[in-house]
């Protein structure tokens, strides 16, 4: 992947966009044909985008800034760790639309030696200067979307002082994943069951054959994906649906074959484990639907708020005062804009 460490040169930033084949697809510009003609430049399509020379790049950034200069804007900040363990921060921007999804264009990516609110703010400032070096568009920035990390929250809070009309909103799907992680941490026995049941079927063809012979229409127990906690809730739903059948099959296995087998057999004998699985699935399965809904491309801002409101109303309606429910309710309080009035 082509990374740019200095986003100040416009050509460098657009070279990254073009080589990554991320923006400037012809379908993006159907409503702006007149502007494209007046600029005397053709917007590249997928099959010939690689052939663009750097001579075209200043014109491309001119088109992007012209399209956005007269509309309200929504920047998006995304930070991730690449395969080499480096922190990569991305800056995207698009036009804010009230009743439809706002398409975003990747402006720049940068490697950060130190990831904190100061370096994030510096990067955002550089990106705005790159796009509009001779004008102040701060009043047109109404919404900024970032991840849930603490330094992103601090950066958003500090940026609102220079961007007076901006509301800082953290990623809704990330927030729901945080709630799902809180649920997982609140039920360690259920988590142990899911982890160890998966272990007893890994590289165990004999057990798999026994399972499929006994339950030919039931899939093997799922393995949750780390950091995607909706998959953990899906695993809980699986156990809630197939608990009795799964228990009968596992009790046919040799209890002395592995430590994981011994752990699973002990857990399955606890009545509390069945009650906890049923409780989690009956109360928190709404998160599975909500996380998948928010992962759908094309949701408007209003639709996203409706998904979050449904989750908050469902969870806050519970009258239970046990520690796990209270922890989940506290996490729900973060499902809102950081600095909204």
Determine, yes or no, domain membership for 3. Answer: no
Q: Is a pLDDT exceeding 50 seen at residue 224? A: yes
Indicate the pTM of the whole model: 0.70
Q: Let me know: does 111 contact 3? Beta carbons within 8 Å.
A: yes
Q: For 300-330, give the DSSP string.
A: -HHHHHHHHHHHHHHHHT----SHHHHHHHH
Determine, yes or no, domain membership for 125. Answer: yes
Same domain for 176 and 160, yes or no, is no
Give, in order, the Cα–Cα distances in Å from 198 to each of 114, 188, 213, 264.
38, 16, 18, 10
pLDDT in tens, 147-185: 878 888 899 889 988 888 888 888 888 888 888 999 999
pLDDT in tens, 38-91: 333 444 444 444 444 444 445 555 555 655 555 567 788 888 777 778 888 888
Same domain for 178 and 165, yes or no, is no
Same domain for 45 and 76, yes or no, is yes
Domain boundary among 119, 148, 170: 170
Determine, yes or no, domain membership for 2. Answer: no
- For 220, list phi and psi in degrees, rounded to 5: -65, 155
Determine, yes or no, domain membership for 177. Answer: yes
Q: Which range of residues forms the domain containing residue 292?
A: 171-341
102, 107, 110, 114 alpha-carbon torsion, rounded to 10°: -50
Q: Let me know: does 103 contact 64? Beta carbons within 8 Å.
A: no
Same domain for 92 and 159, yes or no, is yes
Domain boundary among 154, 170, 186: 170
């Amino acid at each position: 992947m082509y990374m740019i460490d200095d986003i100040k040169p416009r050509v460098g930033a657009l070279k990254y966009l073009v080589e990554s084949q991320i923006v400037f697809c012809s379908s993006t510009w159907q409503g702006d044909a007149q502007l494209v003609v007046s600029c005397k430049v053709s917007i590249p399509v997928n099959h010939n985008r690689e052939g663009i020379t750097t001579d075209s790049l200043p014109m491309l950034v001119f088109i992007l800034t012209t399209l956005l200069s007269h509309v309200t804007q929504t920047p998006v900040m995304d930070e991730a760790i690449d395969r080499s363990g480096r922190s990569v921060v991305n800056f995207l921007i698009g036009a804010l639309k009230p009743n439809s999804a706002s398409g975003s264009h990747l402006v720049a990516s940068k490697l950060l030696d130190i990831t904190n609110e100061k370096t994030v703010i510096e990067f955002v400032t550089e990106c705005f200067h790159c796009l509009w070096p001779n004008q102040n568009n701060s009043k047109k920035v109404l919404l900024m979307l970032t991840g849930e990390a603490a330094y992103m929250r601090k950066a958003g809070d500090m940026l609102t002082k220079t961007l007076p009309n901006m509301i800082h909103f953290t990623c809704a799907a990330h927030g729901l994943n945080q709630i799902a992680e809180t649920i997982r941490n609140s039920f360690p026995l259920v988590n142990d069951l899911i982890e160890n049941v998966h272990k007893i079927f890994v590289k165990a063809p004999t057990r798999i054959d026994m399972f499929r012979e006994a339950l030919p229409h039931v899939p093997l127990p799922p393995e949750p994906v780390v950091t995607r906690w909706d998959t953990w809730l899906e695993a809980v739903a699986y156990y809630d649906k197939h608990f009795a059948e799964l228990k009968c099959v596992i009790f046919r296995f040799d209890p002395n074959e592995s430590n994981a087998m011994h752990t699973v057999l002990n857990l399955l004998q606890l009545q509390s484990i069945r009650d906890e699985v049923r409780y989690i699935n009956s109360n928190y399965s709404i998160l599975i639907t909500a996380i998948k809904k928010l992962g759908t491309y094309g949701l408007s801002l209003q639709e996203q708020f409706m998904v979050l409101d449904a989750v908050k109303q469902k969870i806050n309606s519970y009258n239970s005062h046990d520690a796990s429910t209270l922890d989940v309710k506290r996490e729900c309080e973060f499902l809102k804009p950081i600095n909204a009035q």
